[in-house]
Amino acid sequence: MLTITIPAQKLWDNKKEEFVYTKECTLTLEHSLVSISKWESKWHKPFISDNKKTTEETIDYVKHMTITQNVDQMVYDLLTEYNFRQISEYIDNKMTATWFSESKEVNNAPKKKEVITSELIYYWMISLEIPFECQKWHLNRLMTLIKVCNAKAKAANAKPPKNTKKSLASRAEINAARRKALGTSG
């Protein structure tokens, strides 16, 4: 979770033609699958994409990330550049010590990017039997867990190399020698 402080500000009210003073406000934010799911249900497009988000979409995502209760909607209009930098750094943080070595692309052909939506991530969680309480984890940590579970599942399902006649014959010789040395029949 991230806690940010929106500083008190002095603003001009054009209607009343006077200065208005806002109070300092502290927000607790959570970049999670739950937040993304809420955002996607409103905007009807994938959150995880290379497409840049508008200011309105970005502020709306911050609203969906907010855990703090009863926040005045005007607070989101008062977010500072520093607040946005904090939020961006938090979203980009790996939140894990796990790393992967990326395999090289075959024939220098670019990999086709899959469109990742919240429903796809929920599917991965279900198919990998990841408990639903993980949907509130930082998204990068959840994605790392999904990647680890997927890699381990693939490794567990990998078929061992087939035994060749030569290796079977070699094992038979080794077993025969052991039986002879130990004086057993098998």
pLDDT in tens, 128-144: 999 999 999 999 999 99
**What pLDDT is recorded for position 16?**
86
pLDDT in tens, 6-53: 998 888 888 888 888 889 999 999 999 999 999 999 999 999 999 999
**What pLDDT is recorded for position 107?**
55
- CA proximity to 122, closest of 63, 16, 55, 36: 36
**What pLDDT is recorded for position 160?**
65
Token couple for 77: 């209009």
The alpha carbon of 109 is separated from its chain's Cα centroid by a whole number of angstroms, namely 26
Token couple for 54: 């508008």
Given a cut of 70, is residue 120 above it in pLDDT?
A: yes
Average pLDDT, the chain: 87
Q: Which residues pair with 25 in a beta bridge?
A: 6
Task: Give the start-to-end residue ranges of the domains of the chain.
Answer: 1-98+112-186
